[in-house]
Structures are given as structure tokens and as C-alpha cells.
Amino acid sequence: MHNIYQPYQHPNSNSIFLLTLKKILLLLIVIVNSSFFLNSFSQKTDPNGYNVFYYENGNKSSEGYLEKGKPNGYWKTYYENGILKTEGNRTHFKLDSIWKFYNEKQELFNTISYENGLKNGISKKYDSLGCIISEENYKNNMLSGESKFYFSSGKLQKITPYLEDKKEGFGYEYDSTGLLISISEYTGGFLRNEEKINRRNKEGEKTGVWKTFYENGKLKWEGKYTNGELNGVVKEYTPKGSLKTLEKYEKGKINIESEEVAFFELEKKIRPDGSLLVGGYRDNKKQGIFREYDSTGVLLFSYEYVNDNLIAKGLLDTSGARHGSWEGFYETGEVKYKGEFSNGYKINEWIYYFKNGDIQQKGNYKEGKPTGNWKWWYANKQLHREESFYKGKEDGEVIEYDTLGNIITNGFFVEGIKDGKWFYNVNDHTEEGEFRDDVKHGKWIYKYKDGQPAFEGEYLNGLPIGKHKYYYPNGKIQWEGKYDNGMKEGEWKKFSKLGEPTMQITYKRGEEKKINGVKIKKID
């Protein structure tokens, strides 16, 4: 800020003229700078009207309406160079409708739809040419529905499904021609399975599993290629998912004499007492669901097999859904789990076992979702983890132990979202701090096993802010520097284990500008 006021000085008794001249010059300075001063630094804020705010260099920093001293209505913010940074509307003082975000070249790079202060609707990101590179759906500030990502050509590259900010369901990846090349399955934010299909080798020949699909998403055709030639069983399906044809290929040619073409044999075994066992075989091995009926045709039990190994047994209702008590088994025959189904959904208490019969996991389900208190154990019978669920989401305190009974995680969930104080015991150090709405908030402190500090820093809604410090085990500072709105800013210093400075990096908005005082040249 320019200092437009000059410090008072006692005049020389021999120079009244000089004093008068100084007063005139001071008055001229005040007149020349008064407009800039009033607009930039001492502008009177109208708490119920339109306001413009400025940086120290005289450029606008933001403008919009205030109501009772708080931003409301349409607002714009600017970079220090005067380029528009953000613009959007507030309703009842909360972000509302579509907000636009620009880089310092005034290129639109993000639009986000808000409602009642939260992300609700589609967030779009753009490249430097203005082409959409992603579309993500939000509901109450959480990713929900399909997130789509695009090639620079505009063609779809990837679809990732979300439910309440966690990946859930089937995701798809495409090549630049639009061909589906990967199918991923997610549950609770974790990748459960990934299938790579429709690929080519370096010579451009088809290789591995290839599949095509109907418009309704049902599998239409599948086969396997080796060096561009079909090899193995090729299946074709109807739009409803039934097997239509089955053929065996060897080096690109059909083998009509292959035994694999006779894919399944349905067999009914009638016992001397009139009871009946019905199921399918492949290669003379039981596969899939078998049903057992008494002599009057009443279903007694259903059994599930994989390669002749019984993996589960229980009851099926008339629609084919699991019902009543079920047991699962390891391939070697030991009981794996026990529980109840109702209309295909897990209900009441379920217990999972190690092969030796010790309990591995125990808890309750309601309509297929975990509920109430759940516990897990290690093979040595030491309690592994205990937590509570509500409608399938973690809710309440969670504690996790190592095999010796030491706490390695302790914190709180509110409807599946981390909230409140958390503690972690991670390898050579511990971490303590607070989560708010599933992101770090407030001060976090890491300590080595002997209690010496390992890290200290602050977060605001998941973004690092203020000074962050990292320490060596001997207590000496290793790194220290400042974050501004989640980005490194200003000088970051590194020290040796003896406390001597070894490196200094200067950042501006997260970008390295200088290393040890030497400017970094950008290479275009």
C-alpha cells in the first residue's frame, strides 16, 4: 500500500518558505492520489448495496452485492492481473445455480452447479480449447451417479459410477474409436473386479477376450483371440441373456467335434425314496444351483456347486431368490458362513468363520445392509475391528487393533462420513486430528513412537492452509513452508538432520518459481 501521508517534521526556523512549499506538495500528492486511495484502500463498504473491492495494485479483486454485510446475489472475483477468476450467484447468502471458474488466461476450465450452498448437479471441466474433458454429477456435495471423462476429440473415454462419494457399480473405459476396452466393478469405493476386453497386440491383431453388447447392455457375443485368430469357446446370447449358440474354435476354425460344445447337461437323479435332485453338469462336474425335492415335489434344499465342490446350501423361494437359513463352505468343506435370507436379502445375524471353525466376523443385516454392531477377529482370536452400521453405512465409533491388541485406528462416522476426532497408528508414527464431512479439518499432529513431533499443520475443509512443518526423528525440522488455499505459497525450506538449511524453494500458487534463489525457466 502506498503511504500517502508524510511524517511530521519540525521546520527549519530559517526556512518558512520551504515549509510552505512542502505543504503545497503534500496537498498535491493527496489530491493526485485521493481517487486511487478512496477506491482501493479506504473505500466505504455499503452493507446493503453493490460494492467493488481492489488489490493493492489498484486492480479489482471482487465485486457484487452485499446484504446485511454479507455477499448475496451475483458476484465476480479477479486475479491480481485483473483477469476474471470466478463468477456466479448466491441466493440467501449461499452458492446457487452455475458458477464459472477461469484460469489466468481467462479460459473457462470449470463450471459447477450449486444449490443451497452445496454442489448439486453437473460439474464440467474444460481443456484450454474449451472442449469438455469431464462431467461429474453431485448430490448434496457428494459424487453421485455417472462421472464421464472424454478424449480431446469429444469422444467418451471413461464412465465411473458413484454413490454418496464412493465408487459403486460398474464402470466402463473406451478407446479413442469408441470401442469398450475395460469393465470395472466397484463396491463401497473399492475396485472388486476389472476385466480388460477388446484389446490388440503391438502388431494390431486382436488378442485376449473380445465381447459385443446389445443396446440394452446385455452381452451379445464373446470369444477369445490369439494373434488375431479365434481360439476356444465362442458364445452368442439372445437379447434377454439366454445362450443362443456355442462353438469351439481352434486357430480361427470351428471344431465341430469338440466336447466343449456340449456345454451343459441337465440331469435329474431320482432316488429310491422318490426324492429328486436336479442340476447341471460340465465336464461331468456339478456346476451352479442344484435343487432337491421330496417324493411329493416339495423343494427341500438348494445347493450351489463350483467344479463339483459344494460352496453353499439353503432354500430358494418360487422366484429363485434365496430364503431362510443358508450355509457357505470353503472348497475343502469347512463351514465359511451361516446366516439368513429373506427374498434374496441378508437379514438378522450372520457369522463368518476361519477354516478351523473360529469366528472371523459377526454382525447383523437388515434388508441386505449391515446394521448395528459388527466385530472382526484375527486368526489368533485377537479382536481386529469393531464398529457400528446404520442402513448399511458406518455410524458411530470405530476401533481397529493390531494382532497384539494395540489400537491402530480410532474415530467416528456419521452415516458413512468421517466426522470428529480420529487417531491412526501408522508404521513409525501416529496421526491425530479431526475430520469434518469426510475431509481433514483443523490442526493435525503426527508423532514418532517416542513422542517426538513428526508433522504439524492445519486444514480447512480438506485443504492444507497456513504453515506446515515436518520433523526428523531427532526433533529437528526437515521441511517447513506455507499453504494458501491448498497450494504451496512463498518460501519452503529444507534442513539437514543437524538443522542446517540445505534447500529453499519459492512457490506461487503451487508452482515452483525459484530453487535456492534461481528462477526456474519454463520449457514450452
Q: What is the CATH number of the domain that holds 169?
A: 3.90.930.1
User: Residue 152: left (phi > 0), alpha (psi -120 to 50), or beta?
Assistant: alpha
Longest Cα pair distance anywhere in the chain, in angstroms? Answer: 135
Q: Name the amino acid, one letter, at 421.
A: K
Whether residue 32 is contained in a domain is answered as yes
- pTM score > 0.85 for this model? no
Q: Band of the pLDDT at 267, cuts 50, 70, 90?
A: low
Do 126 and 38 sit in the same domain of this protein? no
Q: Band of the pLDDT at 35, cuts 50, 70, 90?
A: very low
Whether residue 402 is contained in a domain is answered as no
Q: What is the mean pLDDT of residues 243-248?
A: 72
Point out the domain boundary residue: 200, 232, 260.
260
| pLDDT higher than 60, residue 39 | no
Distance of CA 201 to the CA centre of its chain: 32
Handedness of CA 322, 307, 257, 277 (dihedral sign): negative
From the CB of residue 268, how many other CB atoms can be counted at a distance below 10 Å? 10
Whether residue 294 is contained in a domain is answered as no
Do 91 and 135 sit in the same domain of this protein? yes
Higher pLDDT, 517 or 295: 517
77's grid cell? 472475483
56's grid cell? 493493492
Looking at residue 450, its pLDDT comes to 94
Looking at residue 266, its pLDDT comes to 54
Do 27 and 68 sit in the same domain of this protein? no
Do 222 and 191 sit in the same domain of this protein? yes
Which of 68-72, 255-259, 274-278, 475-479 tops mean pLDDT?
475-479
Whether residue 278 is contained in a domain is answered as no
Whether residue 502 is contained in a domain is answered as no
Looking at residue 339, its pLDDT comes to 97
Q: Which of 426, 326, 370, 461 is nearest to 188 (CA)?
A: 370
Do 72 and 149 sit in the same domain of this protein? yes
Looking at residue 358, its pLDDT comes to 97
Looking at residue 5, its pLDDT comes to 28
| pLDDT higher than 90, residue 242 | no
Do 55 and 163 sit in the same domain of this protein? yes
Looking at residue 36, its pLDDT comes to 34
How many whole angstroms separate alpha carbon 458 and alpha carbon 429?
18
Q: Band of the pLDDT at 243, cuts 50, 70, 90?
A: low
How many whole angstroms separate alpha carbon 375 and alpha carbon 361?
6
CA distances to 259, 260, 415 from 264, in Å: 10, 9, 46
The count of domains in the chain is 2
Structural domain for 226, as ranges:
48-260
Supply the mean pLDDT for the chain.
86
Whether residue 490 is contained in a domain is answered as no
How many whole angstroms separate alpha carbon 53 and alpha carbon 45?
9
Judge whether 130 and 139 are in contact, CB under 8 Å: no
Q: What is the mean pLDDT of residues 14-25?
A: 38
Whether residue 63 is contained in a domain is answered as yes
Handedness of CA 32, 37, 40, 46 (dihedral sign): negative
Looking at residue 28, its pLDDT comes to 36
Q: What is the mean pLDDT of residues 197-207?
A: 92
Do 35 and 71 sit in the same domain of this protein? no
| pLDDT higher than 90, residue 490 | yes
Residue with cell 438348494: 302
| pLDDT higher than 80, residue 160 | yes
Beta bridge pairs of residue 97: 114
Question: Hey, what long-range contacts does 319-322 have (CB within 8 A, 24 or more apart)?
Answer: none
Q: What is the pLDDT of residues 357-392, one digit of tens each?
A: 999 999 999 999 999 999 999 999 999 999 999 999
| pLDDT higher than 50, residue 15 | no
How many whole angstroms separate alpha carbon 76 and alpha carbon 292?
72
Q: What is the mean pLDDT of residues 470-489?
A: 95
Q: What is the mean pLDDT of residues 95-110?
A: 94
CA distances to 460, 479, 486 from 470, in Å: 19, 5, 17
Looking at residue 482, its pLDDT comes to 97
Higher pLDDT, 78 or 282: 78
Q: What is the mean pLDDT of residues 300-310?
A: 89
Do 32 and 106 sit in the same domain of this protein? no
Q: Going by C-beta distance under 8 Å and a sequence separation of 6 or more, which residues neighbour residue 417?
A: 437, 438
| pLDDT higher than 70, residue 154 | yes
Q: What is the pLDDT of residues 426-466, one digit of tens each?
A: 888 999 999 999 999 999 999 999 999 999 999 999 999 99
Whether residue 180 is contained in a domain is answered as yes
Q: What is the mean pLDDT of residues 214-235?
A: 88
Higher pLDDT, 482 or 261: 482
Q: Name the amino acid, one letter, at 112.
A: I
Do 34 and 108 sit in the same domain of this protein? no
CA distances to 159, 221, 261 from 230, in Å: 29, 13, 15
Higher pLDDT, 315 or 373: 373
193 burial level (CB within 10 Å; 0-12, 13-18, 19+): exposed
The alpha helices in 151-302, defined as continuous H runs, are: none
Looking at residue 297, its pLDDT comes to 79
Q: What is the mean pLDDT of residues 231-241?
A: 81
Give CA angle at 61 (58, 62), nearest 5°.
Answer: 130
Q: Band of the pLDDT at 61, cuts 50, 70, 90?
A: very high
| pLDDT higher than 90, residue 402 | yes
Do 101 and 234 sit in the same domain of this protein? yes
Do 108 and 165 sit in the same domain of this protein? yes
DSSP assignment of 160-206 equals EEEETTEE-EEEEEE-TTS-EEEEEEEETTEEEEEEE-SEE-TTS-E
Looking at residue 500, its pLDDT comes to 95
Do 165 and 77 sit in the same domain of this protein? yes
Half-sphere exposure of 210 (CA within 13 A, CB side): 19
Which of 186-200, 251-265, 271-285, 405-419 tops mean pLDDT?
405-419
Q: What is the mean pLDDT of residues 321-339?
A: 94
